[in-house]
Amino acid sequence: MTDNSRRYPDSAIRVLDHRFNALRIASASVECLYQGTRWSEGPVWFGDGRYLLWSDIPNNRILRWDEQTGAVTPFRQPSNNANGHTRDREGRLVSCEHLTRRVTRTEYDGTITVLADNYLGKRLNSPNDLVVKSDGSIWFTDPSFGIDSFYEGEKAEPELPQCVYRIDGQTGEITLIADDIEGPNGLAFSPDESLLYVVASRESPRTIRVFDVAADGRTIDNNRILIDAGAGTPDGFRVDIHGNLWCGWGMGTEELDGVRVFTSHGEAIGHIALPERCANVCFGGRHRNRLFMAASHGLYSLYVNTQGVKGG
């Protein structure tokens, strides 16, 4: 970070609308926690162990950052080019793997259970990001990014269109949720789970789509644009308890790189500038008020005056 991060308020935290003032802490600055990845993704917080896991996809590893010591150590290598992570409602790690083209769960004893690797007998493309709903169901995106080259997996021809899927929390049944999103990427629910947000990362410009979740909690409809990203490139994101979207943003310019914050109505209100593009974020810390940001080559954090939604 620049020397500005040593001063309060940190000039990297930019107010685009006065409503963002209520979400920032004047005496908190952006902290660089680690440098040395090729492409950081999928941060997930483990409060019971006070550590964070995140992916370094091209290096085929999951890293662990320890809150008490600041140490970074390998958690899993090889990781099957793991990308997005979350925790299920029982606290277990759930991961998207590019190399094996599957969604997995890490059990308490460290063994790995395959939750999804095909749909109607055809292999998934490369599961990218996922979120767990309060009913225990797992919703994940399946673009082709991991099979487009040999950089984040193995190059291959897609067998399925790029879709969003749901894994039933009770039966394990896999159902197709949406097939009308160009390059579905990051996804998250609104705090009351009445809305599902999905990044359409192959639209030009990129957009963040919003859907209404049906009363049964199992299907969605009314696909519409919430955010037109313009020159920005949203990737992964998380939602706070007030419904604001904290989005990984970029790319390649000082103005765009970092995290862009939007209201639930799609209005840009704040920006956290980083020296590199941010791919994905999560909330952690004792009170879920520390934003962790997985950027291109590193991991960053910032304390904020809000909290991430539970399960996010």
**Based on the domain organization, do 129 and 208 belong to the same domain?**
yes
The domain boundary residue, chosen from 174, 198, 230: 230
The domain boundary residue, chosen from 192, 211, 230: 230
CA distances from 210 to 2, 45, 130, 255, 279 (A): 36, 25, 16, 26, 20
Q: Does 235 carry a binding-site annotation? A: yes
For 173-195, how does the pLDDT look when each residue is reduced to its tens digit (9 = 90+)?
999 999 999 999 999 999 999 99
**Based on the domain organization, do 92 and 216 belong to the same domain?**
yes
Answer yes or no: is pLDDT of 205 > 80.
yes
Answer yes or no: is pLDDT of 1 > 60.
no
Residue partners of 8: CB distance under 8 A and separation at least 6:
26, 27, 29
Closest CA to 281 of 297, 270, 292: 292
- Count of structural domains, the chain: 2
Tokens representing residue 14 in the block: 């930019």
Whole-number percent of the chain with pLDDT over 70 = 98
**Based on the domain organization, do 281 and 141 belong to the same domain?**
no
Q: Within a domain: residue 25?
A: yes
Q: Does 41 carry a binding-site annotation? A: yes
**Based on the domain organization, do 236 and 209 belong to the same domain?**
no
**Based on the domain organization, do 236 and 220 belong to the same domain?**
no
List the domain range (segments joined by +) for residue 39: 1-52+232-312
* CA dihedral of 181, 182, 186, 191, whole degrees rounded to 10: -30
Do the Cβ atoms of 197 and 140 come closer than 8 Å? no
Q: Within a domain: residue 148?
A: yes
| Catalytic residue check, 235 | yes
Answer yes or no: is pLDDT of 234 > 60.
yes
What is the arithmetic mean of pLDDT over 273-301?
A: 97
Residue 126: HSE in the Cβ half-sphere, 13 Å Cα cutoff: 25
**Based on the domain organization, do 142 and 255 belong to the same domain?**
no
For 139-178, how does the pLDDT look when each residue is reduced to its tens digit (9 = 90+)?
999 999 999 999 999 999 999 999 999 999 999 999 999 9
Instruction: Report pTM.
Output: 0.97
For 55-87, how does the pLDDT look when each residue is reduced to its tens digit (9 = 90+)?
999 999 999 999 999 999 999 999 999 999 999
Q: Does 152 carry a binding-site annotation? A: no
Q: Does 223 carry a binding-site annotation? A: no
Residue partners of 228: CB distance under 8 A and separation at least 6:
205, 207
Closest CA to 164 of 211, 204, 206, 112: 211
Whole-number percent of the chain with pLDDT over 90 = 95
Query: Domain with 138 in it: what CATH number?
Result: 2.120.10.30
Catalytic residue among 10, 129, 235, 240: 235
Do the Cβ atoms of 179 and 166 come closer than 8 Å? no
Residue partners of 215: CB distance under 8 A and separation at least 6:
none
